[in-house]
Structure 1
Amino acid sequence: MAGTRRVRPGGGSRPAGRRAQILLLAADLFHRGGYHQVTMAEVAGGLGITAPALYRHFRGKPELLQQVVGSGLDALAEALAPARGTAELCAALSTVAIDHRPLGTLWQRDARLLPPGPRARLRRELRADVRLMAGVLRADRPGLPPADAELLCWSALSVYGGLSHHSFAPPRRRFERLLRDIGVALLAVPLAGARVEPPVVAGPAAARPGQRREELLAAAVRLFHERGFDNVSTDQLGAAVGMSGPSVYHHFDSKAALLAASLVRGRERLRQEIEAAVAGAARADAALAAGLRAYICFARRHSHYLGAMLSETERLAPADRRTAVESRRDFLRTWVGLLRQVRPEYDAAEARIRVHSMFALVNDGVRNRPHSERADLGDCLERMARAVLGL
């Protein structure tokens, strides 16, 4: 299947495995450092070749990123093609998630920085994979509506792609079995009759002192999420709130300071809402259920913050980045501890994987159109998240 998807340049007398080596190293470097932080010279140096030798394989960094993401999608398509049934589908996804761990981050964070044409082509390929998955799922669940099947399959991709955001792993065989079981439980979730809720109002509500600063924070997190930190100018930030670009510096010392402040504001709101939701719970299971509902509600109103948190944390100054990463770890540790109270048979590794997978499902689910516009999305996400957590 992959062979029909893309014709790549290359050939001649170049080393047969050199192109694959470049793609493998570039995937790792982009994953760890972010697209803007990696240079072609760094990729070449990592392989012990010169930059001109690298340019004989790839015309530039955008083409290299496109081919890195494309090779991951090829591996996904090849793994999915022979799947016959939900269990085989989830086994294939588990293998790809482990063997191509950077793919989730590269797709969510870096592929959006590609030019529109290549980005659209890659998106079409991923949609074709989802249609294939949905066909397999509906063969196992004949009464499942197509829209529900696709939502479940996109959610499965989010769960498996969420492995990109952490590095720990149990032994291989156990890891594959756990991931397969999570996927099978997710794809079995019934979405019929999901609760329809009022439309979600995004962003901050009422005006207050310092409103212009608040408007800047809201505009910044949206623009950074949609375009990437390096692709947003101060003029664009100012225009978004009706001021000149230089006027931004009356409120923030730099664009980096604005990014840091916008992520801190989102982080504070999230923590306050979760703490308020679980405060009155008498038992761990009630606290977990209340926290999950609160998180989904927050995610639907502040999807841009979640997107920017995942994609732009690496662009923070070192001190701010350390604070953001440690805060995220503390947040995850709290959820892992709560889940293990409810499911004491989970060891720390399984609980962490399930919690990471749940957050990936929700964070992607509120941003993946057209499914993010479903009137019953909140209830659907809660049902799927509970399945991923093993509840």
Structure 2
Amino acid sequence: MDIGTRERRAQILAAATDLFARRGYHGVSISELGAAVGLTGPALYRHFKGKEALLAEILLDISTRLHRGGVERVSASADPLDALLDWQISFALDHPALITVHERELPHVPEVPRREIRRIQRAYVEEWVGVVAARMPRPEAETRAAVHATIGLINSTPHSAGGLDRAAMAELLHTMAKAALLAVPVAREAAPGAI
């Protein structure tokens, strides 16, 4: 693939990400995707087989970037937990449209690429689970649930980051996420009459 083709594909992916984030997968037509980058709808098919293929490539790229970036940071850091938190927080704050599409549109991807996306996502979560378990030993299922909840907290930023500047939001997310990951659940006794 030549540089011009790669650049055009990157433009299409960026425009599609923005449109899918704002209007949802079903709210965007092939013609609108083409128009966003100065192409006709049919001309878009020279670069992608269709909307599903475009969405699949976006989600494969996001999942791969998150996983690779997490692995790199864990292996290079004296504090892997802080490195993972900083990585996920930076990605979420710097790429809110990607996070929105990543969180919302996976059901629209065909089965084969969806399985690959899920495999990569699971590998990323397991990277977190290993790091958190080394820091806070507890049952594996509890650690995994805490990791999923924490990533969800961080990924909520496209909906909540508007009121603070980036540095303040990053610090708030880091503090909250780290506390959530390292929290020790309190055993609760059921109150009389509680369901």
Within 2, Cα distance between the matches of 1:120 and 1:88? 27
Give the aligned partner of residue 87 of structure 1.
Answer: 82
Superposed CA offset, 1:274-298 (max 9, x none): xxxxxxxxxxxxxxxxxxxxxxx9x
Within 2, Cα distance between the matches of 1:76 and 1:183? 17
- TM-score normalised by L of structure 2: 0.84
Query: Which structure: greater helix fraction?
Result: 2
| 2:11 alignment partner, one of 21, 46, 51 | 21
Compute the displacement of 1:185 (Å). 1.2
Within 1, Cα distance between the matches of 2:27 and 2:152? 25
Aligned-pair identity (%): 31
> 1:164 aligned to 2:158?
yes
Give the aligned partner of residue 121 of structure 1.
Answer: 116
Within 2, Cα distance between the matches of 1:196 and 1:116? 44
Instruction: Describe the shift of the 1:104–1:194 C-alpha distance in structure 2 as closer, same or farther (beyond 3 A).
Output: farther
Instruction: Describe the shift of the 1:113–1:196 C-alpha distance in structure 2 as closer, same or farther (beyond 3 A).
Output: farther
Within 1, Cα distance between the matches of 2:168 and 2:161? 16
Give the aligned partner of residue 188 of structure 1.
Answer: 182
| 2:130 alignment partner, one of 131, 135, 146 | 135
Give the aligned partner of residue 35 of structure 2.
Answer: 45
CA contact (8 A) 2:31 2:42 kept: no
CA contact (8 A) 1:103 1:161 kept: no
- TM-score normalised by L of structure 1: 0.44
Give the aligned partner of residue 147 of structure 2.
Answer: 153
Give the aligned partner of residue 176 of structure 1.
Answer: 170
Question: What RMSD in Å do the two structures reach over aligned CA positions?
Answer: 2.3
Secondary structure at the aligned position of 2:122 is classed as: helix
Q: Which amino acid aligns with 2:141?
A: A
Compute the displacement of 1:113 (Å). 2.2
Compute the displacement of 1:180 (Å). 1.3
Compute the displacement of 1:115 (Å). 2.3
CA contact (8 A) 1:75 1:96 kept: no
Compute the displacement of 1:169 (Å). 4.7
* Greater RCO, 1 or 2 (C-alpha within 8 Å, sep 6+): 2
Give the aligned partner of residue 72 of structure 1.
Answer: 62
CA contact (8 A) 1:79 1:93 kept: no
Compute the displacement of 1:61 (Å). 0.4
| Structure 2: gaps (5+ residues) | none
Give the aligned partner of residue 22 of structure 2.
Answer: 32
